[in-house]
Structures are given as structure tokens and as C-alpha cells.
Amino acid sequence: MDSFPASYLAVVLLAFLSGGTTLIGVALAIAIGNNPKMTAMGIGFSTGIMMLISLCELVPESLRIAGTDTTSLSVGLGAVMILGLHIVIPHIHLGREQTAPTVELRAAYLIAFGLILHDVPEGFAMANAFLASPSLGILVAVAIALHNIPEEFAMAVPAVAVKNRALLFKAAIFSGLAEPAGAILGLLVVHVNPALNPAFMAFAAGAMVMVSLFELVPMARKFGRPGYFALGLAASGLVYLALQLLVPEK
């Protein structure tokens, strides 16, 4: 692991830059409004890029360092944690429609809270990936930044009916800050025990896979645009391949 100031500061900076793209997603939702085709495509992209990063980058790196048993257990724990939080902590699954204004306002807050639950493990993954390999950390950070735009767009679309732009941007800011919070948490844990780094990469991967399957895929079904969802998945694959070329492993 690199020296404390350089590597840790780089992780936090990457997390802030990645989390900042949440504002772009909200701005697009306000500008475009309710567009089921674009939303379905964006959900497909978000799902694909997170699954690829989790299963093709974080899990293999953890397997290489820690082996099958530790990686499998960690992936399972990450998935169980997200499932448990969804059961215990009240929030609204992305894409559920509300009609009454007061319910819409409550929905806007609860959807944002649900996204914060998603963003913490993303920051956690970013930190542990960077500490394992700076090039892997940059790859994960860029992928998450791109994923945040359509994800936040999907959050903002059902909340646009509140007609309170300040609320939407505040929700985006808090959601974006959850990633640096997750990154700092990851740094603190690994600083105490560096040997935990590969396990926490797998843990974050399990959490992000569960978010994709438990939130994003059901939301895509709601919009009923499977073709556009598939286009989003295909686009995520192309972007992932491009990132592989732009950020080669060292």
C-alpha cells in the first residue's frame, strides 16, 4: 500500500468526483422529464456497468489475492447486508409511482434515502479497489461515475412531479456524498487491517450486484421497454471494453 497521504487522498478525491455526477442525472431528469424509453435504457446501462465491474473486476481481484472461500463468503455477506437493509430500513424502490402531492414529496425523500444506501458500498468498492491497484481503482471510479448519471436520472424522474428543484438537487448532493463516506469508511477499515482489503472488495461487489438485481432490474420491468433496457446493457458492455483499453491494468 502506498504512503498514507497520497493514496488515501487520491481515493477520497476520486469518490467526490464520481459522486458529483449525480447532479448531472438530476439536471437531465428536470430537462427531459418522464421519458420511459430513455429511462429504461439508462437503467440497463446502470445495471450492466455495475454487474461488469463487480463480477469481472472486483471478484476476480479478490479471488486472486484471497482465494475462493474468503471471496465467496464476502460476496454473500455483501448481498445479505443490502437485502437486510432493504427489509429493515424504510425506503421506496426506484420507479414506484405515487400520485398525491404529499405522497410524492415523501417518495422523493425515501427514494433519495434508498440511493444513499446504494452509494455507500460504491464508495467502499472504489477505496478498496484503489488500494489493491490504482489502475483498478480508477476503472471502478469512472464506471461508477458513469453509472450514477442514469441511476440518479431514474431517481429524479418520479420525483420531478414535486416541482421542487432545490429538493431534487439536495437529494442528489446527499446521495453523491454517500460515496466519499463509503470510501472513507473503506479506508479506515483497511488502514486498521490491510489484509481485509480483498475481502472488502468482494463484499462491495456482492452489495452492488444485489442492488442491480433487487432494485434496477425490477424497475426496468415497470417501464416495459425491454428492447431499450437491452440497448442500455449493450452500451454498458461497449463502455466497459473502452475503459479496459483506456485504463489498462498495471
Convert the pLDDT of each residue in 1-14 to its tens digit: 445 557 788 888 88
> How do residues 144-203 score in pLDDT, each as one tens digit?
999 888 877 876 766 665 566 676 777 778 878 888 998 998 888 888 888 889 999 999
Measured on CA atoms in the order 172, 175, 177, 179, is the torsion positive or negative?
negative
Burial of 223 (0-12, 13-18, 19+ CB in 10 A): buried
Q: Is the pLDDT of residue 106 over 60?
A: no
Instruction: State how far the Cα of 40 lies from the Cα of 56, in Å rounded to an integer.
Output: 23
At residue 64 the predicted structure's pLDDT band, cuts being 50, 70 and 90, is: very high
This prediction has a pTM of 0.81
Among the listed ranges 45-49, 67-71, 138-142, 170-174, which one has the minimum average pLDDT value? 170-174
At residue 195, the 3 state secondary structure works out as helix
Give the span between the Cα atoms of 127 and 240, in whole angstroms.
19
